[in-house]
Structure 1
Amino acid sequence: MPVWLIWFIAALGLAGAEALTGDLFLLMLSGGALAAVGSNLIFDNYVIDGVVFLVVSLLLLVLVRPALRKRFNSGPALPDRAKALEGKNALVLDRVARHEGQVRLDGEVWTARPYNDDDVYEPGDHVAVVHIDGATAVVAKVV
C-alpha cells in the first residue's frame, strides 16, 4: 500500500472523528495529514512526510483553530426567554408566600415566590417579575 494512501486514509479518519467531537482539534490534524499526502507525492520520503504533518498540524492548531472557534462561538445569541420575562407584570392567581404561589405571566401560569421572603401577595394583586429562578418567577409588588 502506498504511503500517500495511508496518509489519505488517516486524514479521512481524523476528519470523520472530528464530526463526533466538534472541537476542531482533529480537523487540524486531518489538514496536516493531507499536507503529508502532498509531501509524499512530491518527495516520497516518510521522514519529510512526518515533519510536514507535524509542522502543518501545529500551524493549523495555533493559527487557524482559535480563529475558527472564535467565529463559531461569536454568532448572534438567541434571546433567553427567562431574561425576556424579567420586568414584566404578572397577576397573582394563588397566594404568593415564601413556599407557595402562582402567577399568570405572559399568558402562562408560573410558580412564584416573593423577592422578600416576608412578603405575601393575595390573588388579584399585580406584581412585577424580578427574575426567573429555574421554573419559578421571583416577584415583587408593582410600585
Structure 2
Amino acid sequence: MDDFLAWFRDFAWAGWGILAVGLAALEMLTMDLTLLMLASGALAGGLTALVVPGLWWLQVIVAVVVAVLTLLLLRPTLLDRVRNAPGYRSSLESLVGSSGRATAQIDARGGEAKVSGQVWDARSFDPDVTIAEGHEIEVYGLDGVTLIVYPVRPQGQLGSN
C-alpha cells in the first residue's frame, strides 16, 4: 500500500489524466457536456500536479474550481450553440414522423402507443377519431411528452402487419 501511495504522490498527474480521459470517454454516452466539463477540471488538476506535485490540496481546489466554472459558464453557452444549430432535433422531436402501433385505445383524451421500441402516452390528432388497440399509427407532433398520433390507414383496413 505504501508503494502505491508513493507512486501516486510522484505521478499524481497520471491519475488526473486517467480521470480526465475516462470522463471524456463517458461523455460520449451522455452527450450532455457535463462529464466533459468535469474532465476539464481533472485536466486542470493534472496540470497543477505537474507544476506543484506535492500540493494535493491545491490540485483538488484547482480541479473543482475549473470544473464548476466550466459547468456554470461554458456549458450553457455550448448547449445553446448546439441546440440552435441548423437541423438540430432533440431525441423527442426525432419521433415526429415515426410509425408505431397503438398498445391501448387512443382517443382525444389519451391512450398508449409503442414507437421506436418504447411505450408512450398518446393522444389522437383528430378529436373525432378513436384509434383501436393494435392499429398502426404515425406520430404527428408532441405535447410535452405525449405523442399526438393519427392512424396510418382507416380503421377498417388493419391489414396483416
Q: TM-score range by the shorter chain?
A: 0.5 to 0.7
Answering whether residue 69 of structure 2 is matched by residue 54 of structure 1, we say no
1:69 maps to 2:84: no
Q: Where in structure 2 are the equivalents of 1:57-136 lying within 5 Å? A: 57-77=67-87, 117=128, 134-136=149-151
Cα distance change on mapping 1:116 and 1:51 into 2, 3 Å: closer
1:41 and 2:41 equivalent? no
| Structure 2 residue 13 is the aligned partner of structure 1 residue 4 | yes
CA distance 1:134–1:51, shift in 2 (3 Å) = same
1:78 CA drift (Å): 7.0
Provide the TM-score with structure 2 as the length reference. Answer: 0.50
Contact kept, 8 Å, 2:82 with 2:88, in 1: the verdict is no
Greater radius of gyration (CA): 1
Give the aligned length: 92
Give the unaligned 5+ runs of structure 1. Answer: 83-114, 118-131, 138-143
3-state SS of paired residue (1:134): strand
Separation of aligned partners in 1, 2:15 and 2:88: 43
Equivalent position SS for 2:17: helix
Q: Which has the higher strand share?
A: 1
Q: What is the distance in 2 between the residues matched to 1:116 and 1:34?
A: 56
Q: For 2:78 and 2:41, locate their aligned partners in 1 and report how far apart those are by CA, in whole Å.
A: 16
- Partners of 2:20 and 2:73 lie apart in 1 by 19
Q: Is the 8 A contact 2:40 2:66 kept in 1?
A: yes
Q: Secondary structure at the match of 1:12?
A: helix
Distance 1:7 1:116, change over 3 A: closer
Q: What is the letter of the counterpart of residue 149 of structure 2?
A: G
Amino acid at match of 2:13: W
- In structure 1, what residue type is equivalent to 2:64? L
Given the two structures, how large is their TM-score scaled by the length of structure 1? 0.56
- Counting aligned pairs with the same residue, the percent is 36
Distance 1:69 1:136 in 2: 36
**Aligned-residue RMSD, C-alpha:** 2.7
Between 1 and 2, higher relative CO (CA 8 Å, sep ≥ 6) is seen in: 1
